[in-house]
Amino acid sequence: MSSHQGNLKIYNSLSGQKEKFEPIQTGFVGMYVCGPTLYSEPHMGNMRTFINFDMIFRYLLQLDYKVKYVRNITDAGHITNSAGDEVDSIGKAAKSEKMQSLEIVYKYNVKFQELQRIYNLLPPSIEPTATGHIQEQIEHIEKIIENGFAYVVNGSVYFDVKKYSEKFEYGILSGRKVDELAEETRTLNAQGEKRFFADFALWKKANPEDMQIWRSPWGNGNPGWHIECTAMSTKYLGNHFDIHGGGMDLKFPHHEDEIAQNCGSLGCTPAKYWMHANMLNVNGQKMSKSLGNFFLPKEIVEGTTALFDKPYSPNVIRFFMMQAHYRSNLDFTQDALNAAEKGFSRLSDALQLIDKLTVSPTSSFDVKDLITSFYAAMDDDFNAPILIANLFEAAKRINLINDGKDTITKEDLSLLSTEMNRFLQDVLGIEIGVTNSDSKLAPVMDLVIDLRQQARDNKDWSTSDKIRDGLATAGIVIKDTKDGTSWS
């Protein structure tokens, strides 16, 4: 077991407090995160959640936990809206794009996989699909009915919240009380089949126009929205596992209903720790499809969104996101992104300098203390912003060593190098030293820079400045340093 295990604290949405992380089985972690619904390309807000849980996954791995990370893919449309109408989002998209449901799902899954590569997300251990687990969903529903917490009406099955409340507490995650819910949503109670307005569908009878239909003991139909996560999480992680994550907006009803289903079928809550990542905002408002204030993860990398006048690299975006805590809102603005871009280059420059430093017999500062601070930051509920602040402290030290104002021993230097790289690249998932040098352009540039240096040596300033200005017009920036001239 790693010496670093055992200090981790996680904010548990279930208790509303930071708790010491104690996995159910020592050394092992089971984590389930709600993945995308593939009826369109995931937007930047969706990506933030996945990036945050990727960071969490990565840190758990760094702590030497054996992590089984399950992130599902919702490829079955099965939603009922507030008026009780069927809104099969995937089927709807399929119709408008004149495709079959599975085509739609496949199309957007390819895009999602590409985004994961672009944004450097580690692949989960398993990415199960809803359509691949219809049988398991049906079995869960049967068990819930058997236990008396669900009823069948006209080919549909509903979860019986009132019955459930007699034995369990509905609303433990979202803090909602069944009695209060009644008052709150009185206007929304338009569904005739339900016994109680808060009951939710486990299985919905098929509509004639549905594109995807499955057989069940209750007739042809579609699984309810929440049951897929219950089926897949228990199949791959067991009845009770360590961490369940997802976006804040899934807390209610999705996660609340998952808890009810798990208790209703297996008698226990699915997860020990519930983690919720906060939303991505645009101008102070949640980025969402329905509001239309979203942009795509690829657009920002390619510079094709109207919101920003230039492209940003995926590394800069990840860095920018990591500067905010996963439980905080984050506003995407051009100024903030530019600031992150500069900050990131400062950090990455320092890291690239590390191998060129000269070592001394002693270190003038406490390197181990600094490294401990990296772990301490992440151990405190994955506080990546603090980690980054500490990495900047390390970057400053590196620069001071480079200037001869600080010293470091060989051992300390190698330790610092290892740990900085570990935290920036392996934990935060931010890659550094990605050179954009064009193989054809490089030798040409070497020649041009050489010619300019000659002119400078001859104090022929007009020629050297002409070269510099000419390159600038071509979009190439010359940087003169002590050790020579570089370009980008």
Partner RNA sequence: GGUCUCGUGGCCGAGCGGUUAGGCACCGGUCUGCAAAACCGUCUACUCCGGUUCGAAUCCGGACGAGACCUCCA
Q: Whole-angstrom Cα distance, residue 141 to residue 149?
A: 9
* Residue in 73, 263, 388, 448 binding RNA, rule: CB under 7 A: 388
Q: Which of 95, 305, 468, 476 binds RNA (CB under 7 A)?
A: 468
Residue 338 binds to RNA (criterion: CB under 7 A): yes
What's the one-letter identity of residue 443? Answer: P
CA 438, CA 365: separation in Å to the nearest integer? 40
- Can you tell me which of 10, 12, 32, 37 binds RNA, judged by CB under 7 A? 37
Q: Considering the rule CB under 7 A, would residue 279 count as an interface residue with RNA?
A: yes
Beta carbons of 73 and 62 less than 8 angstroms apart? no
Residue 220, both tokens: 């042809």
CA distances from 453 to 82, 440, 447, 467, 485 (A): 71, 21, 10, 10, 8
Binding track, positions 285-314, relative to RNA; x by CB under 7 A: xxxxxx------------------------
Can you state the percent helix, strand and coil of the chain, rounding each to 5? 45, 15, 40
280 phi and psi angles, rounded to 5 deg? -95, 130
Q: Tell me the closest approach of the beta carbon of residue 410 to RNA, in angstroms.
A: 22
- Nearest distance, CB of residue 26 and RNA, angstroms: 28
Contact call for residue 272 and RNA (CB under 7 A): no
Q: Within positions 111 to 140, which residues make up the interface with RNA, using CB under 7 A?
A: none
What letter does residue 129 receive in the DSSP assignment? B
Binding mask of the shown chain, residues 209 to 238, with x at each position contacting RNA by CB under 7 A: ----------------x-------------
Q: Is residue 324 involved in binding RNA (CB under 7 A)? A: yes
Residue 336 binds to RNA (criterion: CB under 7 A): yes
Of the ranges 44-52, 236-244, 266-274, 418-426, which one interacts with RNA (CB under 7 A)? 44-52
Number of shown-chain residues binding RNA (CB under 7 A): 93
Contact status, residue 353 vs residue 398, Cβ threshold 8 Å? yes
What whole-number distance in Å separates Cα of residue 224 and Cα of residue 201? 5
Supply the minimum distance, in Å, between the C-beta of residue 327 and RNA: 7
Interaction pattern, residues 139-178, with RNA; x per rule: CB under 7 A: -----------------------------------xxx--
Residues 332, 281 contacting (CB under 8 angstroms): yes
CB of 403 to RNA, least distance (A): 5
Taking every pair of Cα atoms in the chain, the longest distance, rounded to a whole number of angstroms, is 92
By DSSP bridging, strand 241-247 and strand 271-277 are parallel
Within residues 400-459, the interface with RNA by CB under 7 A covers 400, 403, 456
270 binds RNA (CB under 7 A): no
**Shortest separation between residue 172's beta carbon and RNA, angstroms:** 12
CA distance 225 to 69: 21
Q: How far is CA 372 from CA 100, 107, 414, in A?
A: 53, 45, 15
Determine if 71 is a binding residue for RNA (CB under 7 A): no
Residue closer to RNA, measured from CB, 263 or 401: 401
For residue 204 the two structure tokens come to: 């919905």
